Each structure stands twice: as structure tokens, then as C-alpha cells.
Chains A and B, each alone.
Chain A
Amino acid sequence: MDITVESIVFLIFSVITVGGGVLVVTTRNLFRAALFLMLSLFGVAGLFVLLAAPFLAGVQVVVYIGAIAILIIFAVMLTPQVTHTQGRNTQWTAGLVLAVILFLMLISVVTPIAEELGLDDWSAGFTQDDPADVPDGSLTELGRALVDPERYMLPFEVASLLLMAALIGAVMLVRPEDTRPRETQPDEAQPAAEHTREQLSSSTGD
């Protein structure tokens, strides 16, 4: 592999992504963790650009950094932090060990090490480094495909439905408890009224 401009840029974004990720899970202060999350997500956006998916990179910036990360920051500010306590829970070592094992397992499949291990059935083609060019108008095509009844329109509509449901669900979940007295319906008022009447009549000895 030659050292090209592209590979340098890739390296930089990879470091941003992975380093940001590490800081997200290690920083004790949640606010800072959220900022590092933004950094990491930005790195991912850079990788998308390198992968010739500028649209997704834009969406990544707008949706993830612009919306989700901001949402997380809001949540962090809405819930008081106890920063001086331990950021990790009691099982963090087990978690770390498992994560590392998982990482090693994944590495053994996706990298050239796989061939050494005799796992090349799985990793065939992973060493590829000169893919075909992305055709012009790929983004237009994607836009069409998303609203084409033959292709992705149904998933697209379902996704919008899901967003709607999530929106309503989130609003319902965080809605303040209803403290107003409920409007008395005649149907409900009636037994209650009868009750009152009985109480009154019994108290007056009627």
C-alpha cells in the first residue's frame, strides 16, 4: 500500500473516529463525553466522504451531530450529574475483557490475518483496494429509489411512520403528570353524586 494523500486522510479520520469513541466511553464527565461523541461522529462523516457517499456524510452531520448529539446533551443537562462518583460500574472489567475478545474475533475475520488463520472463506475480497467507480448521478438514483414504489418506497413510508411513532411516544413519555382535576363526566358524576346524597341523608338522619 502506497502512502497517498487519501490514505493519510483516512488515517486522520480513523484516529478521530476511534479516538473520539474511546474518549466517549472513558470520560467521566458526561457533557464532555457527549462532545467527544460529536467528534467521533464527525470522523465517521469524514470516512463517508472518503467512501464517495457525500450525501450520507451530510446526513451524518445534520442528523447525528446536529440532532441526536444535541438531544443527548439536552438529556445530560436535564438530569443532574454526580460527576465525582465512579463513571464505571462494577462489572466494567468483565465488559472490557469481552469487548477486547470481540474485537480480536472481528479482526481475525476482516483483516489479512484471516488468511494466516485459514479463514479466507470469510474474508475473500476484503483486501480489495481498487473498486469500480461510483457512476455519476448515483445520488439522484438513490433519491428516486427511495420514492419508487417498486423499490424502497414502502420501507421509506414505514420509516416515516416509525419516526412519527417515536415522536409521539417521546412526547407522551416526558409529558408532565396531569395535575388538573379531571372534568367530571355525567356518567361518572352520577354514582358519585348519589354517594354524596346518601352521605348527606345519612348524616342528617333522613
Chain B
Amino acid sequence: MNINWFDADYLPWLIMLFPLLSFVIIVLFTARSRIVSQFVALAGIGIAWVLSMVEFVKVVWASDAELGHEVFGSSIDWMTLGTRTFEMGVLVDPLTAYMLLMVPLACLLIFAYSVGYMRSDPHYSRFFAYISLFAGAMLTLVLADNLLLLFVGWEVMGLCSYLLIGFWFHKKSAYQAGVKAFMTTRVGDMLMMVGIGYLFIVARTLDFREILYNEEMLAHLASTPAVIFGGSAAALIGVLLVAGTIGKSSQFPLHVWLPDAMEGPTPVSAMIHAATMVSAGVYMVVRMFPLLSAGADFHAGDFSAPMIVMGVIGSITALGAAILAVGQNDIKRILAYSTISQLGYMVAALGIGAWVAAAFHLVNHAFFKALLFMASGVVIHAMEHGQHEAAEHGDEHLHHEPEQPDGLVMDYVPPANDIRRMGGLLDRIPVTAITMAIGGLSLAGFPLITAGFWSKDEIIADAWHGAGEGYLLALLVVLCLLAAAVLTAFYTARMWFMTFWGAPRTPAAQHAGIGSFRNAWVRSRWARARRLEGVAVSHQDRSSALWMEVPLIVLAFLAIFAGFIGVHTDFPLLGALDNPLHEFLGGTLLEHPTAVDFNWLPVLASSLLALAGLGVGYWLYGLRPLGAEDADPAEQALGAGIWRVLENRFYIDILYRRYLVRPAEWFAVNIVIQAIDKETIDGVLETIGEAFVWLGEFFKRFNTIVIDGVGDGIPGAIGSFAGWFRQVQTGRIQQYLLYVTLALLALGALMFIQIR
């Protein structure tokens, strides 16, 4: 069989195959060897990356000729249920190709970073197995050509997020965070599954090509009335699918799991926040956009129900999360809220129909957010090293650290993550500081030179255009997003200056540096015990620093240059690049979207707001760096009351705990156990039980007298016979063979008699 593996029919299959294969190999064969597992995982994702690049180049070359309608793809029959055959297939169109540009590359860099970061972890191989599965599931989702396969990838990722967030399951808070993430996203997933089911009922297919590229089908969906709530089937399905995204991409009100997902190792946070989990939600709605907007002409201000839901939810999330990020002191939690906020941008963009801008921001965000998370991992690493060094120098004893709380606590910040305890790390980990500054500027949307600016600007420009036409939804979006933009710039500046600027505020920061990484749990329990055993635990391990820093530099490069492919055509100078992205992605869907006219106002507005936010941040935290005993200026400005609210995340988590989790527990304990189980069911059972006890008494009498006499006799006889007969079992093999021969002869004799 002569197969050209670079042929369009096979290549997409292979992309997702290799990471899944490395998962299988590590779990089944190489889990014992840390080195081999590490390289199996790296090889899997590396091959996937190379193949993705090949695929990407092929798509780019093909894009001249109406690519939107001639997608690469192939499918095979999966299962036949009744009269329907579900197919499993892959599809590569410009949107997929654009995702393929980002996902495997980000994953590869995160994998490489993990080599350095997880070095001392006792479950190193398992970690690589899980993240391989995670990456494989994401690639499956991206490449899927139907909703069912997409949902499979979606759910496998849900599982992986659970496994990885709770990776240090010895910590109660970690496994609680894992369960929280799993359960919260499950709410969205359930609704999404209902949506998929309903879509299948109405459309009789789940294939993207048959639904999204088929105007008749879309019209049919838009004209069929929904079973409930009025409206069209397309609207109901769309809202349900958006609910899935709200869970997966951590939108209000299901955003609560993401900040707690920080309990996982930092590479996992980078995975979840950048390359995989949350991107999946946005990717899914971008992919399903024709369905979500079916039956509504959003260019004329007629938004469909799913779009209104997305616009409102996205705006609220973008602004709310940005406000919360200001009030956090945990470096990773600040980034977590910034992720939620940025995802809000994308969802809001989809709400007003700017799906190209959403995809653009999705990929740019993935790059700079992966960068920020991995840089924060290095910071934490450096701080833990500093704590350790400080303890050895007697400046600060490890057991003076605040004890870790039992389980998830809202305002607890692990000491190594606490930006109040940092300061002055700039000259200790300079590479990280500079790359993190680049990532932060990209996040804040620093004008002209960062990727984040271009994509964010495109979203705001689209919304501005809509608001100019007088659409209320677009107005809401543009106001929320501009407000969020200034806050984003501010908290980014606050985080960076508090971490890297000025003088060290604690001995730990004083001694910070990149040594071998040991996270808090591993170091306190495992490494300390090893030292007691006399096993040397190396403190300076340069290669692990290299593994961590190289991905940072690569991502910093991307955080700047990934934006230039989407500059508006009419922008002076840079517009000469001709906005290749818009043309490229535009071919994906049926209707080629027209870019909005260039307008100076939104560009100026977002630039000025970003600069203002950064400026305020510099003014508060940069000009006069925070001293060891100083209070946080933002806290002073806002007042302690508001600050508490921010630290406690608007009390939403507490609200859920009090009004959803507690009642559920109460219901379980009091209603189900007490009222139903103990009183009703047990009452009936006890009455029956008493009747039987009486009956039993009667039988017992009968038993002792009549049955025992006979009953004891027979077992007794059998017992004594068995006692005699067991002597046959001598355990001598030859004696058994003797019996066998005897039986053989008996059989032979029988045959003789028969013949005669």
C-alpha cells in the first residue's frame, strides 16, 4: 500500500494521533523511566507540531482557491445506531489551520518548560502522560469534523483538567479544586450535550460541513420552532452550546473554577489558560458561529438569542474579572482573572459578530498568556528557592511559614505566590522579568508593538462600529471592554512592578533565584525527608533553568509578532501588510465577513486607555516602589471594605457554597438520609422487620426441635465421609497418575465389552 502520509487525507489524523500515542506509551510501558517518558511526550507533541506546520503551510498555499468550500478532510464510519451512521472525521479549514498554528506550538513549549519545572516531582511520568492526553484531546477537538467528536475531545479535556488540577492530590485544596473545576464545567457540558442532542434531532446530522456550510440546513434550523421557550431551534441550540462555552471558557457565572485551578502545577495552568481548555470553548463557538447567528441579520442590528447571551455574558465577565484581578495578591490568581477577562473579550466579540477578531485574540492571548503563566512559574520557583535559602541562612525559618489551610480558602495566598512578599526580582531573574514584561504589555495592549494590542483593538473597533450604528448590545460591549482595558493595563502594571521592581521586601525575595525547582509540597515533605536520609538534593541546576527560559523567549517573540498578521488594511504604514489574517480566516465560513471601515477613534481610545492604565500602575507602584511595611496603594485608595470584597471575589464563590453546595449537602443529609431514608423507608422496613422477627422466633422453635435433628445428622454423615475420603488427596503426583491409568484401563475394558 503506497500511502503518502503528507497527503491531505491522512495528515490531520496523524496530528492528533501522536500525543495520544505518547499517552498510551507512557502509561503502559515507560512510566517507570522518567527520562524516557519525558522524551516520549516531547516527541509526541513535537511530531504533532511539525505535522501541524506542514498542514498549515498547505492550507496557506491552498487559500487562493476558495478554501472555505474545499476543506481538507476525511472521515470514517464510527458507529451505526439504528438507521444513522455516526462518522468520525477530521476537517481542516483556515480556522482549524490557524488553531494548529497555535495549539501544538504552545503545547510543545509548555512541555519543554515542564521538563524543567516538574523535575523534582515524584510523579513526573504520570504528569507527562496526562498533559500528552490533554494536548491530544485538544487537537482532536480542533480537528474534529463533527460535534460529536468535538464533544469527545471536550470531555477528555474536562477529565484531564480534573486530573491535572488535582495532580498534587495529597493537598486537600488541590483535589477540591480539581473537583470544583470538574463539577463547574459539567454544568455547562450537560447543557451543551442537550444542545447537541437537540441539534441532532432537528438536523439529523452533526457534521459541520452539512450544517455550517449548508444554507438550506441553517434556514431550516432557524425556521423550526423550538420545543420550549419559543424562538427558533437554532436559537435554543445556540444558547445551549454557548452554555457549554460558559462552563469551559470560564465565563460568568461559571467562572469560579478557573482561579482555583491554580492549585495545579504551573505548566498545567499554562496549558489550561492558553493552549487547551479555555480556548476550546471559544473555538467551539467560533466554529459554530453560523449556527449561532442563524436567522438573524446581525449586520443590521438584529442579534440572535445566543449572540445576545454571548455579548452580555462576555461584557460582564470581561469587566468583572478585570476588577477582581486588581484585588488579588497571588501572582497566578491575577493571571487567572486576567484570563477570564480576556476570554470575556472574545465571547463579547462573538456576541456582536466579530468572529474573526475573536479568533485573532484567541491565538494572541494564548501566546502571551502561556508566556505570563510560565514566567510566573519561574517567579514562584525562584521565590521557593529563596525561602529555602533564607531558611538555611537562618533568616527565616520554614516552619514560620503560615500553615497551609485545610482545603480551599478564598483569601489564602501561598507565600511563594504572594506578590506582597516579592519585589526586586528584576536583577535575580532578568530573563523572566523581561519576557514577563513583554507578555504583560501584550496583555495590557501596549500600542503598536504588541500582539495583544492589534487583536484587542480589532474587537473594540468592531464593537465601536456597531455602537456607532446605534446597536445597544454593541454599545454595552464597547463600554465594558474599554473599562476593562484600562483595568487590565493597571493590574498588569501592578503585578509586574510589585514582583520585579524596587527592593526585596522579604528575605525570601532577597535570596530568590532559579535553582532546582521544588514546589511547596514537594519540597516541604519529600525533599526534606530526603535530606534527612542523607540524599543530596541539588540546589543549583542550570539545565532546568534552561528548559524553562527558552520557551519564555520563544513565546515573548510570538507575543510581539503574532499580531502583525491582523493589522487593518487602512492603518498607516503597518497596513501595508494587508491584513492577511482576515482574508485567510474569512474563507472559513459561508459568508465572507467584510472588515469594518478603519476608524481612528477606537484605536486612539484603546491606546490611550492602555497607556493610562499602565501609567497609573507605574505612578502607584513604579515611581516609589512598595517597601516591606507599606500598605498597598490601591487598597488605600479603594478602602478596606471594597478591598475585602475583591479579595473574596465578589463573594460569588461563597454564594455558591452557601446557596448551592450547602443546600445540596443539607438536602442529602436531612431530606434524603433523615426524612426519606431513616424515617419513611426505615419505618416501613422496621415494621416488616418486626413481623419477620416474630415469624423467625416461631421458626426457630420449630427448627431446634424438628429440623436440627435431621439437619445435623446429614451434614454430620457427609462430614465424616468427607473426612475419610479426603485421604485420597495425598498430594503425591504419582498416586494421582495411578488413578488416571486405572481409569484409562477401565475405559478400555468398557470398550472391549462394547465391541464384543
Contacts and interface: CB of A to CB of B under 8 A. Distances in A.
Interface string A121-160: 1100000000000000000000000000000000000000
Interface string B30-53: 001000000000000000000000
B122 interface: yes
Nearest to A114: B755
Interface stretch (B268-276, B494-502, B528-536, B656-664): B528-536
Given A95-B738, A190-B526, A185 B532 contact: no
B741 A98 contact: yes
A186 to B, nearest CB: 4
A95 to B, nearest CB: 6
A186 B755 CA distance: 72
A105 B748 contact: yes
Given A105-B745, A185-B32, A197-B528, A190 B122 contact: yes
Contacts of A102: 741, 744-745, 748
Contacts of A189: 122, 530
A110 to B, nearest CB: 13
A97 B15 CA distance: 74
Interface in B704-756: 734-735, 738, 741-742, 744-745, 748-749, 752, 755-756
A186 B526 CA distance: 9
Contacts of B738: 91, 94-95, 98
B32 A196 contact: no
Contacts of A185: 32
B532 A101 contact: no
Interface string A172-194: 00000000000001110110011
Contacts of A99: 741
Contacts of A194: 525, 529
Interface string B527-561: 01110110000000000000000000000000000
Nearest to B528: A197
A95 B734 CA distance: 9
A121 B751 CA distance: 12
Interface in A8-65: none
A108 to B, nearest CB: 8
B393 interface: no
| Chain A residues touching B, range | 20 to 34
B529 A101 contact: no
A95 B529 CA distance: 66
Contacts of A121: 755
A55 B101 CA distance: 66
A197 B529 contact: yes
B745 A193 contact: no
Contacts of A91: 734-735, 738
Contact of B530 (A108, A187, A193): A193
A197 B535 CA distance: 13
Contacts of B69: none
B123 interface: yes
A89 interface: yes
Contacts of A122: 755
Nearest to B742: A98
B33 to A, nearest CB: 10
A196 B533 contact: yes
Nearest to A195: B529
A127 B755 CA distance: 20
B526 A193 contact: yes
A40 B735 CA distance: 26
A63 B532 CA distance: 60
Contacts of B745: 98, 101-102, 105
Nearest to B530: A193
Nearest to A206: B399
A101 B746 CA distance: 11
A187 B124 CA distance: 10
B595 to A, nearest CB: 55
6 contacts: A105-B748, A108-B752, A189-B122, A190-B525, A194-B529, A197-B532
Interface of B: 32, 122-124, 525-526, 528-530, 532-533, 734-735, 738, 741-742, 744-745, 748-749, 752, 755-756
7 A-B pairs with least C-beta separation: A193-B529, A186-B122, A197-B529, A98-B741, A105-B748, A190-B122, A197-B532
Given A102-B744, A190-B122, A193-B533, 11 more contacts: A91-B734, A98-B741, A102-B741, A105-B748, A119-B752, A119-B755, A121-B755, A122-B755, A190-B526, A193-B529, A196-B529
